[in-house]
Amino acid sequence: MNFNSDLQSIQEMRDAVRTAKEAQAKYMNYTQEQVDAIVKAVAEAAYAKSLDLAVMAVSETGMGVVEHKKIKNEVGSMAVYESIKDEKTVGVISEDRELRVTEIAYPYGVIAGIIPTTNPTSSAIFKTLIALKTRNAIVVSPHPRAKNCSVEALKICNEAAVKAGAPDGLIGWVSNPSMQATNELMKNRDVNLILATGGGALVRAAYGSGKPAYGVGPGNVPVYIEKTAQIPKTVKMIMDSKSFDNGTICATEQSIVVDQNVRQMVLRELRNNGGHLLTNEEKAKVEKLISPAPGKLNPNIVGQDAVKIANMAGVTVPLGTRVLIAEETRVGKDVPFSIEKLSPIFGFYTAESYEQAKDYCLQLLRLGGMGHSLSLHTTDDKVANDFAMTMPVSRMMVNTLSSIGAVGATTGLKPSLTLGCGSFGGNITSDNVTAKHLINIKRMAYGIKEVDIPKPGTASIPVSNKEKKEESLEYIVDQVLKQLEPNGIPDPKVIAEMVNQVIKQYN
């Protein structure tokens, strides 16, 4: 560990948080019109640099596809802006005249944004936009392997925001991030909320920071091709989705489950769309590359193309191969093709029945995708409804590309690059996280009902039989004691009478 580097990183973080807090105190007084103008300016500036940032991201991280990262940047900027531009986030946001309840928005304060290496520019833009829309400040800790492109995205956003009238320092970052600085950022007393996107350990650290946090779980997404699906169209979408940015979106399909009735058609279309079905020998080689230890993904394959991954495993595939596919029957940590792979690699499961197909999907989700997403291709609405009711996921994409459908590019879901997994995945929300999640709401409520408060002592308290007996017994004893002779020796007749009365009380 470079001690001096860590200290510099921590100090840079502290300075950024302090400055952000001061800027946010000023930003609190901005009107909705002022806020909206700033958000629009930032979205437009980031959108204009989508290609440049995509090139930087691929060059620095060695992951993904430039053209696809450009689309991600466009979704993270203008698509997000279009989805939030009309939301009220300042002052009174709703008023119920009948119930006389008024809702007033107020921000969290300073938000800590943790950015993953798989989406280093689009996530930075997205988190900045929803923070600014809600009058929050944001301080970002990029991934060390993607720090330059993330910081460049933030600089573009900051320049546009300040030019549009935002206080300087409202958008901050750590230019030389370290794990220690990131952990201290999340625990900093002046940070009020955490937006964490990254590995499981990072998300757990966010939840353990003592701060409110939005974190996301892993997405081991099954895609079920049901027998009524339009196979050529379905397979093309799945292959386009799986190869999009070389599989780096967490909602990308990870394993195919197919009905036995359409198995051969699906395999044919997979080959027609650039899929390479591995032989048993090839499969064994790729397995070792995917997971060097049970349940552990080799980070060197993340975001790489299929041909490169095959070469890394010592397997020769045709040029133009888009996805590597291996038939599988088991699900588990010791089954590499069944885990989340974040690369263009598919496990292929054949289901002999509808129930077995559902079981495969459940097993895959339980292995590492609980609460995240599921993809389904069918023309039977009953099947879609059944899956929607029974699968432990927060979003289900039907007849579309799961990867970009989940983030709102091809569906009506809210455009977002932070996808909650709900209680299934140990998250606080199952939503696509957006601006509404970054505001608090205070409520002003007028009295609308009259009520009479009774005075104390006006209601009789029921007495149990046991209590009545005890009270009666105490009275009897008290009376008997009062009749004692002066010398303190009770009269035998008095004692006999007392005993008789006690016996009567308990008969």
Residue 309's CATH number: 3.40.309.10
What sign does the dihedral 452-454-455-456 (CA atoms) show? Answer: negative
Which CATH number covers residue 161?
Answer: 3.40.605.10
> What pLDDT does 484 receive?
57
| Residue 204 pLDDT level (bands cut at 50, 70, 90) | confident
CA–CA separation, 433 and 113 (whole Å):
13
pLDDT in tens, 324-344: 999 999 999 999 999 999 999
Range of the domain at 473: 465-505
> What pLDDT does 467 receive?
57
User: How many Å is the maximal CA-CA distance in the chain?
Assistant: 119
Q: Specify the range with the lowest mean pLDDT, choosing from 3-7, 152-156, 429-433, 479-483.
A: 479-483
- 230 plus 194 within the same structural domain: no
Judge whether 423 lies within some domain.
Answer: no
Percent of the chain whose predicted confidence (pLDDT) is above 90: 84
- 204 plus 229 within the same structural domain: no
- 182 plus 284 within the same structural domain: no
Q: Specify the range with the lowest mean pLDDT, choosing from 62-66, 256-260, 470-474.
A: 470-474
Q: Specify the range with the lowest mean pLDDT, choosing from 179-188, 192-201, 225-234.
A: 192-201
Average pLDDT over residues 245-269: 98
pLDDT in tens, 365-380: 999 999 999 999 999 9
What is the dihedral angle through the alpha carbons of 374, 376, 260, 390, rounded to the nearest 10 degrees? 60
Among 370, 397, 412, identify where a domain stops. Answer: 412
> What pLDDT does 11 receive?
95
Write phi, then psi, for 459 (nearest 5 degrees). -105, 135
> What pLDDT does 5 receive?
82
481 vs 236, residue with greater confidence: 236
> What pLDDT does 465 receive?
61
| Residue 217 pLDDT level (bands cut at 50, 70, 90) | confident
**Runs of H (alpha helix) within 229-332:** 231-243, 263-272, 280-290, 306-313
Average pLDDT, the chain: 93
Q: Which of 149, 157, 250, 361 is catalytic?
A: 250
> What pLDDT does 1 receive?
47
Q: Does residue 421 have an active-site annotation?
A: no
Look at residues 223, 221, 222, 219 and name the one whose alpha carbon lies nearest to residue 399. 223
- 49 plus 159 within the same structural domain: yes
Judge whether 269 lies within some domain.
Answer: yes
Judge whether 495 lies within some domain.
Answer: yes
As for how many domains the chain has, the answer is: 3
> What pLDDT does 199 receive?
76
CA–CA separation, 61 and 147 (whole Å):
9
Judge whether 479 lies within some domain.
Answer: yes
> What pLDDT does 473 receive?
58
Judge whether 459 lies within some domain.
Answer: no
CA–CA separation, 358 and 366 (whole Å):
12
Judge whether 320 lies within some domain.
Answer: yes
Question: Is the pLDDT reported for residue 114 higher than 90?
Answer: yes
- 272 plus 312 within the same structural domain: yes
| Residue 502 pLDDT level (bands cut at 50, 70, 90) | low
Q: Are the beta carbons of 183 and 12 closer than 8 angstroms?
A: no
Judge whether 258 lies within some domain.
Answer: yes
Write phi, then psi, for 267 (nearest 5 degrees). -60, -40
Contacts of range 500-507, beta carbons closer than 8 Å, 24 or more positions apart: 501/476, 502/473, 502/476, 505/469, 505/472, 505/473, 505/476, 506/469
| Residue 218 pLDDT level (bands cut at 50, 70, 90) | confident
- 165 plus 17 within the same structural domain: yes
Q: What is the DSSP letter of 293?
A: B
Question: Is the pLDDT reported for residue 128 higher than 50?
Answer: yes
207 vs 252, residue with greater confidence: 252
> What pLDDT does 46 receive?
98
Q: What is the DSSP letter of 163?
A: H
- 103 plus 133 within the same structural domain: yes
41 vs 456, residue with greater confidence: 41
| Residue 21 pLDDT level (bands cut at 50, 70, 90) | very high
Question: Is the pLDDT reported for residue 475 higher than 70?
Answer: no
Look at residues 412, 414, 417 and name the one whose alpha carbon lies nearest to residue 436. 414
Average pLDDT over residues 465-494: 60
Question: Is the pLDDT reported for residue 385 higher than 90?
Answer: yes
CA–CA separation, 381 and 228 (whole Å):
10
CA–CA separation, 336 and 304 (whole Å):
17
> What pLDDT does 488 receive?
57
- 377 plus 497 within the same structural domain: no
CA–CA separation, 192 and 395 (whole Å):
28
Question: Is the pLDDT reported for residue 184 higher than 80?
Answer: yes
User: Is the whole-model pTM more than 0.75?
Assistant: yes
Q: Which residues contact 398 (CB under 8 A, 6 or more apart)?
A: 375, 376, 377, 378, 384
- 202 plus 226 within the same structural domain: no
Average pLDDT over residues 309-329: 98
Alpha carbon 41 to chain centroid distance? 27
- 22 plus 153 within the same structural domain: yes
Judge whether 376 lies within some domain.
Answer: yes
| Residue 202 pLDDT level (bands cut at 50, 70, 90) | confident
Question: Is the pLDDT reported for residue 353 higher than 90?
Answer: yes
- 212 plus 303 within the same structural domain: no
Edge-to-edge strand ranges of the sheet holding 91-96: 91-96, 101-107, 439-445
Question: Is the pLDDT reported for residue 203 higher than 50?
Answer: yes
Question: Is the pLDDT reported for residue 483 higher than 90?
Answer: no
- 53 plus 83 within the same structural domain: yes
